[in-house]
Amino acid sequence: MKIQLKITLLFTLLCFSVIVLLSIAVYYFANERAFQDFYTRLELRAVIASKTNFEASEQNQEAYEHLRTEHMQRLPGEEEFIIRTDTLDRIRNSPLYKTTGSDFFLQIEAEGKASVRHGFQFFKGILHRTDKDTYLIIVSAVNEDAQSFLLNLRKILTIACVVSTLVIFSIGILFSRQVLAPIRSIARRVTTISVTSLHERLEVREGKDELSALASTFNDMLSRLETAFETQNNFVSSASHELNTPLTAIIGEADFALARRRGEEEYRQALQIIMSESEKLQAIIRGLLELAQSSFSDKLVYEEVFVEDLLYSSLQVAKNVYPLCPVSVNQSLHPEGRPVSIQGNKQLFELAISNVLLNACKYSKGGPVNLAAAVSGAHVIFLISDTGIGIPENEIKYIFDPFFRASNAKKTRGYGIGLPLARNIIKLYKGQIVISSKEGVGTEVVIKFPAAPGSYQILT
């Protein structure tokens, strides 16, 4: 069933239930309470009957009788009963007693008056005390007006329920169509977006309602898809270019060597160039493989890795590659006391940090490079800073793109794989990496990882 119809039916059912309940309540209370005036009339007749029959003065009795016969309308089925209380036992089998019930008589005796109803026959009784005896005076009559009133009321309520249900159903259809129109519009728009038109976006209306949020979320998803596709395209074309360059050199050199007979020295030179370009190719392919593997998070290893060990092993890697670079571990922010650890794979962490550290050493222009660790809240922070060439401000946002080289770094050898690899590893272990840099001044890289639970507690 379509959601539109469901909404309409639900809306109609709810309103119909409310209307029916309301109608039942109206009918019930009208039935119970709307005939008080009839009881009042019966009571009046009972009082006059008591005056007529028991008034001390004969003249008054006659006056009351005259009033009753001449000025009071006789009600349909009006009957009058005067019963002495000590003769109540005799009437227990009478139709009156059976119709009204014993409670009616008991209530008259206890409270002085009582009323009861049997269908549309109404009974009102009062207690009258004389000097000698006590009497129950009961007047009953049929309320024909009540009958027709309730019948009409029932008809009106039934018709009103049916008509209002139809009206509510119609309004419900319009209402649900109106509410779901934006969703239909979004669905129509989304069906037009394909791989070749990922740049298109949904229209986001002003406001903070759920539909605007839905459209914004779709647009964000489309942006991420577009970025992913573009990154993939760029990656493939960059990878092809990067792999092609050393291959072209290898083929060129081999071609040159094979073109004619050459001397030993020329063959040696050609082979050396082929060797060096092959090593470059190998390094690129290894980096690509690590980059690809770092994107898979299916089999993540979690073991305790001590931060201090990580710092010094990364430092050693940097010293091995750049022995002349003044790189050192700065312990000034490292917490004192118990050792700090993070959860993950030590080799991957070392790869990530050493890649960043190697970059710092490469571009430091011989200046000092600092490697430090700190703990803040639930995070372990690694800090790598240098006073090197920095990164141009408008290029920082591309720094994590595979094969991207900053414009001021192109003279230095590199492949643009280290930072994307580091970022992938950091993201795998729910970390963050933030780069701050100023061209010509230096670069700071802050890497945060969640601290291992219970690995460090502030000493109090």
Which stretches of the chain bind other proteins, using CB under 8 A? 330, 332-337, 370, 372, 374-377, 381, 383, 385, 390, 436-438, 441-444, 446, 456, 458-460
Which of 305, 321, 332, 281 shows the shortest CA–CA distance to 431?
A: 305
Helix runs in 134-209, H state only = 144-192
Pairing verdict, β 327-330 and 369-376: parallel
Smallest separation, CB 373 to other proteins (Å): 10
Distance between CA atoms of residues 278 and 264, nearest Å: 21
Smallest separation, CB 366 to other proteins (Å): 17
> Which of 314, 424 has the CB closer to other proteins?
314
Per-position DSSP letters for 193-258, written without gaps between them: --GGGTT------SS-SHHHHHHHHHHHHHHHHHHHHHHHHHHHHHHHHHHHHHHHHHHHHHHHHH
377's tokens: 């809240």
Smallest separation, CB 407 to other proteins (Å): 18
> Which of 55, 439 has the CB closer to other proteins?
439
> Which of 180, 329 has the CB closer to other proteins?
329
3-class DSSP assignment, residue 274: helix
Composition of the chain by helix, strand, coil, percent to 5: 60, 15, 25
Smallest separation, CB 330 to other proteins (Å): 5
Distance between CA atoms of residues 118 and 128, nearest Å: 24
Q: Are 372 and 445 in contact (CB under 8 A)?
A: no
> Which of 56, 434 has the CB closer to other proteins?
434
> Which of 19, 446 has the CB closer to other proteins?
446
> Which of 195, 459 has the CB closer to other proteins?
459
Smallest separation, CB 444 to other proteins (Å): 3
Distance between CA atoms of residues 258 and 247, nearest Å: 16
Smallest separation, CB 343 to other proteins (Å): 18
Smallest separation, CB 379 to other proteins (Å): 9
65's tokens: 């009788």
> Which of 207, 377 has the CB closer to other proteins?
377
Q: What is each CA distance from 195 to 198, 202, 232, 234, 253, in whole angstroms?
A: 6, 15, 13, 16, 41
> Which of 85, 432 has the CB closer to other proteins?
432
> Which of 66, 438 has the CB closer to other proteins?
438
Smallest separation, CB 381 to other proteins (Å): 7
**Contact residues for 44 (Cβ-Cβ < 8 A; gap 6+):** 72
Q: Would you mind telling me the total number of residues written for the chain in this entry?
A: 460
> Which of 139, 451 has the CB closer to other proteins?
451
Q: Which long-range contacts (CB under 8 A, 24 or more apart) does 288-295 make?
A: 288/239, 288/417, 290/351, 290/417, 290/421, 291/402, 291/417, 291/420, 291/421, 291/424, 294/348, 294/421, 294/424, 294/425, 294/428, 295/424
